[in-house]
Chain A
Amino acid sequence: MTTYQFLITAWKWNSVLLILCAMVLAGYFLAFQRRGRPGYLGAALAIFLFALISPVSALAEGYLFSAHMIQHILLVLIVPAFLLLSLPRSFSLPRPLTAFTHPFIGWIAGVGAMWLWHAPALCNAATTSRTVFAIQTTSLVLMGSVFWWQVLAPRDANRLSPAAGIVYLFTACTACSLLGIILTFAPVSICSVYQHPADRLGILGTIRNDWGLTSDKDQQIGGLLMWVPMCLIYLTAILAQLARWHSDPVPQTEESNA
């Protein structure tokens, strides 16, 4: 199969996901009517679907660790961020869920989502079993939401102060960069499934020859994706914190230190 054919044909129809998205959309408008910011919700759902039914997803299913990493980053960092942004300003969490709003829990959730699912056993299981993959996807979006809540909660009072937010984001960035560095330089395969893919789509030759992606190089790219571009996402958030700090007319607690 050529690259072009692959990009055309590798889109999957997934009724469960589409129904889920439709329900979220309906629920959103029922709950918030016009108070929300549906643009962000649309972006969240579109990226969510892109991560799970596009060719990226096909490649992540056993072919390329780097594609899995793109999927991972989208699900844990981008989709939850847009989801939180779509909530109306007046939104506050139902009482039982406020247990998850401690910054420490948020940090552990965000960093844990990166480290935990790259333990070799879990990474392999998520690639081979549909059930584990579903659990993984759900947990990534949830843990990402818990992480971003500290920074992007709809009410300003629920967010960290800008300085604390910068420390929160920078330390998370460092923790994830460390994992990226380890993945980049690891001489052994972290997710051994990707070393010898079962060639269901007949695309392996294209990947190895036309794209020039050996399994070593593939893992290196995966690690680099976590190391460099992911850091840029955190950096963007840090700059947003600085902007908020410099623009905010309401009194803020000014600094904390790490």
Chain B
Amino acid sequence: MNGTTATVTPATLLDPAEHWHHRLAWLSTVDHKRIAVLYLLTGLFFFVVGGLEALFIRLQLAVPNNHFLQPDTFNQLFTMHGTTMIFLVIMPLSFGLVNYLLPLQIGARDMAFPRLNALGFWLVPFGGILLHFSILTGGAPAVGWFSYAPLSETPYSSTPGVDYWAIALLVLGIGSVGFAINTIATVLSRRAPGMTMRRLPLFTWINFVNAFMIILAIPVLNAGLAMLLIDRQLEGHFFLPAHGGSAVLWQHIFWAFGHPEVYIIVLPAFGVISELIPVFSRKPIFGYEFVAASSVAIAILSMSVWGHHMFTVGMGRAANSFFAIASLLIAIPTGVKVLNWTATMFGGRIRFAVPMLFCIAFLVQFLLAGITGISHAVVPLDWQTKNSYYLIAHFHFVAVGAILFALLAAVQFWFPKMSGRMLSERLGKWTFWLMVIGFNMTFIIQHFLGLLGMPRRVFTYPDLPHWAWMNMLSTVGVFFMSASSLILLWNIVVSFFRGKIAGDNPWNAWTLEWATTSPPPHENFHALPPIRSRRPLWDYGNPDRPDPIVGKDTSEIESPDKSKVSILSFIVSEAAFFTVLLLAYLYFYAHPQPGPGPRELNVPRTLIFSLCLFASSFTIWRSEISLSKQRRSSMLGWLALTIALGGVFLVGQGLEYWKLFQTGVDVSTNLFATTFFTLTGFHGLHVFLGLVALLILLWVAWQGDFASGRGSTLAAAGYYWHFVDIVWVFVLLTVYILPLIR
């Protein structure tokens, strides 16, 4: 493809037609490209915030026995730094990249659900404001980013900081799940003709896999946060050992989310590297299939090895051994990836442009991060280095050396597509070298500080041999990184207005985002090249020696209905949420507490009301059949009956609650009550929301707006309704039936 055609529209903030309401054009946008830019700008803003927090932390630690910051301020700073960098910087930046590029790479016009997309973005600033609002309420949370119980509980953190932290993360988590569902629906049902699943660019494929991790892992955190809030706001007892709760349960829940989360933030970086290295080595990726499949292996493995974060908790030697082995195994698929990237470079004509420099730095830093990571899978070594600066160094090698470097490579690489102008290579090289030098100066030395025994999360340290100069060196490094970041911001601002015009395809890359103008028009593409392989632009530019056709030579693709795909993804994430609540119930059921227990519950009455709920699954199915047979009145009747049956069930639940309240049992009574009300309450809430959705459908159907083409909406609502019923089967079995057979 001729890369530098002159038909470039220069970068403009607004279309001419938009000038009259220009203030709203960006606020009300549902265009994936603008939402992506908003994501990226929000991420950059919080990057500055989180970076300043890091700067203050390092200033405090620059010299021994320093009193620049109060201990409590220091605790707040490292908590906010960690939370901000993970949830408000890396995730929004990754989501922004995906939002911009994924629809372009698959030749789509937009994401599958543009308004859901906008909601997902606006939840990020909302969550960010909630989190920082805590500062005005008596102090930011000061309990660390993993917020271990019981420190995070009311007796030990009495200001509302932790509450804001939990609510902010819930808000951000809901946005992330929405984004992930949107990603899955977009990839499955919005691909251009010819873009079969096997021809997906690796960036798209890896983020597709990542979306599944998000919908499985984030709800686990959400469930934990809900429990924490119930503890704090309603005097529940989940994580309070003094009342029979389990602080270790919080750790299990947090790390069951937290370990997949590490891969949720690192997989997009893998996707970036897998796109960039081939372009700058002028070779197709070596072993596409292995890179693709190893992402799946990483995703699945990462969900069952969270125990390695808890070696020092006292899970016992047996559990430690299993988690150690499983954690070591993750090195295999990760190693496969590194091998593929290096082999892609091998023998290639490498162009050392700034994006490639960051990719190479990524490889080196990620290798070191991986080696120290493996050392943490070795239990005895982990015992010695956990909660020391060795651990800090390790995960900053992952978060900065790997993830941030990949994101910086991505910014340099895709900025021309987004703005129409190139970032300055000269300033980019300054950014690169200052960042690499500063980063290594800051963090390599921290490995040794950790091995010398310097603990993390302590606001100062005594003047022990070597500690002073090592810490000073580390702090000096931060100034290099700050300078690098400032140059980057300057580069972005200057290049946006005065950068070199980029043209459609400045890097001579091969994926579809380069087949349109820079920036792309609102509808993304005027025409698409034929897609027969993974490098459509290569085939288009080199018709005499195209890539071999991948799969069957066809442009036909399957596009499953986006409503069904999205509701199924949503159900998967809800299932993860309820699984955690159920397991928590079982856990405390097995450790009975004094006070009320399952014997207080009225089993026969609940069984009768349950029959109503189960019957409603039948009636909604009948309603769907009536719709497919075009019998409007019968469909309305069955739908109304479904709503009535659901309502009756809720009345039954209300009766149960009322009787319990009458006998003085509420959430705060004991652990049985806490878990019972949490589990059945969340189920009841889902039934209620389902009823609201069905009422809306009923109203729409009543208005006659349901004639054709909307069958899938009712089917989607039906799926959700069946799911709510199936959850109740499990709740009924666990809460009501299990005590009878014991």
Contact = CB atoms under 8 A, between A and B. Distances in A.
Interface in A203-231: 217, 220-221, 224, 227-229, 231
A254 B558 contact: yes
B197 A255 contact: yes
Given A245-B198, A246-B198, A231 B318 contact: no
B590 A186 contact: yes
Contacts of B318: 217, 220-221, 224
A220 B579 CA distance: 20
Nearest to A213: B318
A221 B316 CA distance: 10
A142 interface: no
B560 interface: yes
- Chain B interface residue number, banded: 35 or more
B284 to A, nearest CB: 15
A242 B293 contact: yes
A228 B323 contact: yes
Interface of B: 184, 188, 196-198, 289, 292-293, 296-297, 300-301, 304-305, 316-319, 322-323, 325-326, 329, 551-552, 554, 557-558, 560, 564-565, 568-569, 572, 579, 583, 586-587, 590-591
A124 interface: no
Nearest to A242: B293
9 contacts: A231-B304, A232-B329, A235-B301, A242-B293, A246-B292, A251-B551, A251-B554, A254-B198, A254-B558
Given A181-B583, A184-B319, A231-B300, 4 more contacts: A166-B296, A188-B590, A242-B293, A242-B296
Interface string A140-171: 00000000000000000000000100100010
A186 B586 CA distance: 9
A216 to B, nearest CB: 9
Contacts of A245: 198
A253 interface: yes
Contact of A246 (B289, B297, B579): B289
A3 interface: no
A68 to B, nearest CB: 16
A172 interface: no
Contacts of A187: 590-591
Contact of B293 (A173, A182, A220, A246): A246
Interface in A240-258: 242-243, 245-246, 249, 251, 253-258
Contact of B569 (A188, A246, A257): A257
Contacts of B322: 224, 227-229
Contacts of B326: 228, 232
Contacts of B198: 245-246, 254
A84 to B, nearest CB: 23
Contact of B196 (A224, A235, A238, A254): A254
Closest 6 CB pairs of A and B: A242-B293, A224-B322, A246-B289, A228-B322, A221-B318, A254-B197
A189 to B, nearest CB: 11
A178 interface: yes
A11 to B, nearest CB: 26
Nearest to B575: A174
A228 B558 contact: no
Nearest to A231: B304
A257 B196 contact: no
A220 B322 CA distance: 11
B558 A239 contact: no
B289 A238 contact: no
Contacts of A185: 587
Given A178-B579, A188-B590, A227-B322, A257 B568 contact: yes
B458 to A, nearest CB: 32
A127 interface: no
Interface in A65-80: none
B98 to A, nearest CB: 18
Interface residues of A, number: 37
A177 interface: yes
Contact of A253 (B329, B558, B568): B558
B135 to A, nearest CB: 38
A188 B558 CA distance: 50
Given A182-B586, A184-B319, A232-B329, A255 B188 contact: yes
A185 B249 CA distance: 10
A254 B326 CA distance: 31
B509 to A, nearest CB: 23
A163 B188 CA distance: 12
Contact of A220 (B197, B289, B319, B568): B319
A243 B564 CA distance: 27
A170 B583 CA distance: 19
Contacts of A243: 289, 293
Contacts of B292: 242, 246
Contacts of B579: 178
Contact of A239 (B296, B305, B319, B560): B296
A129 to B, nearest CB: 21
Contacts of B551: 251
Given A238-B300, A255-B197, A224 B319 contact: yes
A191 to B, nearest CB: 15
Given A224-B322, A239-B293, A246-B293, A257 B565 contact: yes
B304 A177 contact: yes
A257 B293 contact: no
Contact of B300 (A170, A184, A227, A256): A170
Given A187-B590, A242-B292, A243-B293, A255 B300 contact: no
A220 B316 contact: yes
B370 to A, nearest CB: 20
A245 B205 CA distance: 14
Nearest to B582: A178
Interface string A187-201: 110000000000000
B93 to A, nearest CB: 27
Contacts of A178: 579, 583
Contact of B184 (A166, A232, A239, A257): A257
Contacts of A186: 590
Nearest to B187: A255
A249 B318 CA distance: 45
Nearest to A186: B590
B359 to A, nearest CB: 25
Given A220-B319, A221-B318, A228-B326, A258 B558 contact: no
